[in-house]
Amino acid sequence: MTRDPVTGTYARRLLVIAVTEYDDGTPAQQQEFSTGVSAQVTVVEGWWADPGLDDGRRFAPARPKQLHNLRDLREFLLDEELAEVDDDEALVVYITGHGLAPANSPQHFLRLPDSYEDRPLSTAFPTAELIATVLDSRATHVLVMVDSCFSGRLETELKANLKALREGRRSLGSLVVLAAGNDESRPRLGQFTNLLRAAHEHCSDQANGYAGSHLSWQDWKGIVGAVFDANTMADVHEIWPTPSAAVQRAHQQPSPCLPNPSYTAVEPVLGASLSQVGWTRTELDTYWISRAAGQPGAGAPGWYFTGRTELVKRVLAFLVGTENVLIVTGEAGSGKSALLARMVTLSDARFRADPHYGPLIADIPEELDVPVGSVDAALLARNSDPDELAQTLYEALGGSPSVFSTARTARPRTASSGPAKPLEEGPVVALCKLVGELALLRGRPLTLVVDGIDEARNPTRVITDLLRPLTQLRMETDGRPAVRLLLGVRSPRKYTTVAESEARRPSTSTPTAPSTDLLGLLIRATHSGNLIRTDDVEATMGDIAAYVRALLQAPYEGQGGAEEGRPELLGLDPAQPQLRYQHRSLAAAVAEEVSPSFLDARIAAERLRSMRILPSPDDPPWRRTLRKGTEALLREDLGEVARWHDTPAEHLMTVLRTSAFGQGAGLPWADIWPAAVRALCLTPVADPDAVIRQVMASRLNGYLTTAVEDERTVYRPIHERISETLRYSPQFLLGLPDTDPAEHFPEISITATHAQLVWAFGELLPPAPDQPPHPYLRRHLIAHVAAAGLVDDLHVPWRFLPWETSGTVRAALGLPADFHTGAACLAAWARIEAFLGDAGAAARADSLRLSLLGTAVGRGAAGNMVATRPLPLYRSGITPRWSQLRVPDNLLARMSTPLASLVSFTLPDGSPLVAAGDQGGEVRVWDPRTGTEFGLPFRPARTYAPWPC
C-alpha cells in the first residue's frame, strides 16, 4: 500500500497530566518518585515538544499549574476545552501517576495526592472519562498514553463506555490509546518512557533510515518490536481502536501524532512540476543539481560544470524552437544527465529565486542561460515502468493523485490491467488527456524531460507504451504536437547509420551497452531525426580538463585523509599558488586519459584531492589506472580504504555490490542491507552494520547516492556504470586474476546472485501472518524472486502475500497459472490479485483462503469446491467452507466490444505478443506471459471486414 501524504493539522497540542506529589513512603522516596515522574515528562516533551521540530510538527505542551485533587484536574480540563477540539487539530495526551483498580469495579482511576483509595468515585479521577472526552471530540488524530498501574483494564472499560461513540469515530484508525501493560501490570517508574526513549534513538539512527516527516502506527509497532527489552521497559498495549481491516489500513499511513524525530524539513528548491513529486532540496542536490553543477558532493556550492558550450546551445535551440523530440545520448558517464539537468534546474523560477544559487546563475553567459519555464515537467525513468512514469508525470503536471488511489494501493507497479479495470482508466490514458487539456489551455506544447530511459525496469515498454503515445498527441486548434520531449538514453559511442532508410544499430564493442537497440527503437517510435551525442572525445577533452581543474581548486569541506581515519593525511590547500600550475597539468592529463567520461574525471579528481603527495602528470602507473577507467579507480579506492581501516577489501566491495542489486530506488540499510552483505560475501562478515558504517564514513560513500522510497532512505550506486562494474566484475575490483576465479566468484551469475538474496530476505520475513514484512520486501521481493527464477510457495510463503504491494505476482508466475503443489498458493493469489484493490492484509488473507478453495480437487454434492487443509497459522473470524469462485486461469483481459480476430506474433527480441481486433477496427496488444497490456489501442490506416490483424 502506497503511503498518502501526512494529513495537515492547524494546531498540535500535548497535554501532560503528571501526578508527582504523593505522601507515600519516606521523604527520600517521595523525592525519588517526583524526580522520576519529572524525568518521564522530559522524555515525552523531548519527543513531541522538542524545539528542534519544525512548526508544522511540534506540539504545544500544556500542564496543570497544580494537581492535588479532583477539582484541580477538572478545572484544567475545562480550561483546555477538549470537547471543542477542531477536526484539524492533533492531540496527544500523556497521563502518569499511581493507578487505582478497585477489586469490586471494572474501572481504572488516576490517584491524586488528596485521593482516598477506599473512595475512588469521589476523590480519584476516572481515567476513561478523559479518554472518552478526547475520543468523542472532533479531533481526527488523537494519541493517549496511560502510564500507570493497572492501565490495561481500560481496554474493557473503553469498549463498554464507548458504545455510544458515533460509528464514524469508532472505526477511525487515527484514534489510538496506549496503556503501560495489561490489567494486572505494575510498571516501574520510567519503564514506559524507557521504551519511548529507545524508540526515539532508533528513529534517529541513520541505519534505520526513517525519512518521512511522520511515522505510521505500523512503523511504531515495528520499532517497538525492534527495541523492546522486557527487563527495563513496559509492555505497552494498544487498547484502542478495536482491530479491523479498516484500522489496519489506516495504520499504514503516517500519523500527525507521530512526528519523526530524525526528520529535518528542507524547503524544496524546485517547483512541483519539476520536483519529481515531492523531492526535497537534499534529494534534488543529489541528482539534478549536483549533476548540473558537476559537484563532487551535495554540500559543495561551486558551479563547476560550465563548459559544453556547443551542446548547451543546441539544447537551448530545441527549447525555443519548433521540433518536438530531441534525444541526448552517449556512452555511460559522458554527461548526458548533467546536460539535461542544466535545462531542468535553470528553467525553474523557484530555483532561480533561491539566494543560495543566485551567484551561480549570475555567472552564466546570457547566450547559455535557459529561459524560465521552458521545461514543464521532468522525471527519471530508473527502475520504473510505463504506468509509474505516467502517474509521476500526471501528478507533476498538477493532476490529482487520488485519480490513481486504488491502483496505487493495489499495485504500485501495474502488472496487469486485469478484467476489472478497463484500459480507459489507465495512467497513460489519463496522462494523455491531461497533457491535451493543458496544451490547449496554455496555447503551446508542453516540454517534458525524461532521463535514464535505459535504466527503466522495461525500457522497451517505456518507449512503446508511454513515449510513443505522447509524441502522437496533437493540439485540437492547429494540429501541432501537444508535447515536446527532451529524452536521455545511453548508447555506445560507435553507433553508425547502416542506411538512410534503416534505423541505427549499435556497435557490439561496448560490453556494458544495453542488450537491445534502445536508441534505434526510440528514434523509430518518436520519429526523431534530432540527436545529440555527448561522448565525442575531442570535443569533451577541454571541458573535462576545466571540470577537473575546478574540482581540484574547490575549497575543502571535510574531505581528504581525515575522513579515512588518518588525520595526518590532511589534503593540501588548493589555494596555494604553487599548486595551481600542478593542478592545471594534472587536469590536462586526466582529460587525455578519461575523455569522454566525466564520471571517471570526477572520481580521479576526488582521489587527487585526498592525496598528501600529488603524482607527476607523466607518472605511467597513475596514467595507466586512469586509462582503465571507472573499474580501476574504484579498485584503487577499495584497496586504500581497506588498508586504512584494516578491513578486508572483499567486505567493503560487497557492501557496494549489494547496493547495485537493489530494486526500485535502492536498498535500505536496516535489516535489508546487512542481510544482503552476509548473503553475497564469500567470507564471513561478523558485523555487516559496522562495515557499512565504514563505507559511509570513507570516500567510498562517494560511489553511492540516496533516495527515499516508502518513507525510508535507500542507497544505490551513483551511476549505472558503477552498478554494472559491481554486478559483473567483482573479481577485477579485488585485483583477482581473471584466469583463476575458482576460489572467489566462481560464476558471476545475476540469477544466482538474486537467488542468494531471496534466501537471505526470506529469513527476514516475520513468522506470523499478522506481522508486516519490511517495506522493501513488500514492494520488491517478487522482483528478486522472479530474477532468481524461484517463483514458488517455498520462496514466497503464503503469509507474505497479504502484505505484498507490487501487484506483480501474476506477472511473475506467468499465464496460465500453474496450480502444481509447489506454487498452489501463488496461483491462487494470481487469480484474485487484480481484484484486491485497497483491502487490508487481513481481508487479503481471507481472500487468499477463499481462492485456495477454488483449487481443491474435491467437490461437494452441489459441485462447489470444498474446504482444503487450513493455511499454517491462519487465524480469521471467517471460516470459508465452499467456494463458487470461477476465475479463468488464462484470462488476459476483457474486451468491451465484440472480438473480431486474434493473432499472435513475436518481436525481434523474441518476446511473444497477442493482438486482438474488435469489430470497430481497434487493436489492442498484450504480453501473454504476464497479462500485461502493451501500448495503447490503435486503429490501422485501413480496415476490412472481416477484420484481419
SS3 assignment for 624-667: HHHHHCHHHHHHHHHHHHHHHHCCCHHHHHHHHHHHHCCCCCCE
Choose the weakest-confidence range: 407-411, 498-502, 931-935.
498-502
Radius of gyration (Cα) for the chain, nearest Å? 31
Give me the torsion for CA of 185, 191, 196, 200, rounded to 10°.
-150
**The three cell numbers locating residue 759:** 534466501
pLDDT at position 8: 77
- List, in sequence order, every beta strand (DSSP E) within 106-171: 109-110, 125-126, 141-147
Per-residue pLDDT tens digits for 585-595? 999 999 999 99
Q: Is the model's pLDDT at 530 over the cut of 60?
A: yes
For residue 91, how far is the Cα from the chain centroid? 29
Q: Is the model's pLDDT at 647 over the cut of 50?
A: yes
Nearest to 232 by CA among 200, 187, 269: 187
Q: Is the model's pLDDT at 797 over the cut of 90?
A: yes
Q: Is the model's pLDDT at 365 over the cut of 50?
A: yes
Nearest to 252 by CA among 838, 714, 919: 838
Q: Are 236 and 192 in contact (CB under 8 A)?
A: yes
Indicate the DSSP class of residue 669: T
Report the SS3 class of residue 544.
helix
**The three cell numbers locating residue 382:** 530508473
732 forms bridges with which residues in the sheet?
Answer: none
Sequence-distant (6+) residues with CB within 8 A of 566 are 644
Q: What is the mean pLDDT of residues 282-292?
A: 44
Q: What angle, rounded to 10 degrees, do the helices at 649-660 and 630-645 form?
A: 130
Choose the weakest-confidence range: 122-126, 515-519, 647-651, 848-852.
515-519
Answer with the residue of higher pLDDT: 889 or 384: 384
Length of the chain: 949
Give CA–CA dist 853/71, Å, rounded. 61
Q: What is the mean pLDDT of residues 762-775?
A: 91
Burial of 742 (0-12, 13-18, 19+ CB in 10 A): exposed
Q: Percent of the chain scored above 90 by pLDDT?
A: 38
Indicate the DSSP class of residue 615: P
pLDDT at position 404: 59
Residue pointed to by grid coordinates 506477472? 811
Q: What angle, rounded to 10 degrees, do the helices at 630-645 and 688-697 form?
A: 110
**The three cell numbers locating residue 543:** 571541458
**The three cell numbers locating residue 83:** 470537547
Nearest to 847 by CA among 808, 885, 809: 885
Per-residue pLDDT tens digits for 424-469? 457 888 899 899 999 999 999 999 999 989 988 889 889 988 999 9
Average pLDDT, the chain: 81
Q: Is the model's pLDDT at 552 over the cut of 90?
A: no
For residue 631, how far is the Cα from the chain centroid? 28
The C-alpha angle with vertex 403 and arms to 402 and 406, in degrees rounded to 5, equals 75
Answer with the residue of higher pLDDT: 419 or 933: 933
Nearest to 419 by CA among 834, 916, 730: 834
Choose the weakest-confidence range: 26-30, 473-477, 672-676, 887-891.
887-891
How far lies 170's CA from each of 138, 190, 246, 493, in Å? 12, 31, 11, 64
Q: Which helix (H) or strand (E) holds 506?
A: strand 505-506
Q: Are 890 and 815 in contact (CB under 8 A)?
A: yes
What single-letter amino acid sits at 918?
A: D
For residue 116, how far is the Cα from the chain centroid? 55
Give CA–CA dist 254/173, Å, rounded. 11
Q: Are 174 and 144 in contact (CB under 8 A)?
A: no
Task: Using the CB atoms, write b or e for 400-414: b if 16+ within 10 Å.
Answer: eeebbeebbbbbbbb
Residue pointed to by grid coordinates 563532487? 296
Exposure of 526 in the CB half-sphere (CA atoms within 13 A): 28
Q: What is the mean pLDDT of residues 480-496?
A: 84
What is the DSSP secondary-structure string of 437-459? HHHHHHTSPEEEEEE-GGGSSSH
Indicate the DSSP class of residue 738: T
pLDDT at position 561: 38
Q: What is the mean pLDDT of residues 187-199?
A: 94
**The three cell numbers locating residue 113:** 495526592
Give CA–CA dist 95/522, Å, rounded. 63
Q: Are 141 and 90 in contact (CB under 8 A)?
A: yes
Q: What is the mean pLDDT of residues 489-509?
A: 49
Give CA–CA dist 158/877, Å, rounded. 22
Per-residue pLDDT tens digits for 659-672? 999 998 899 999 99
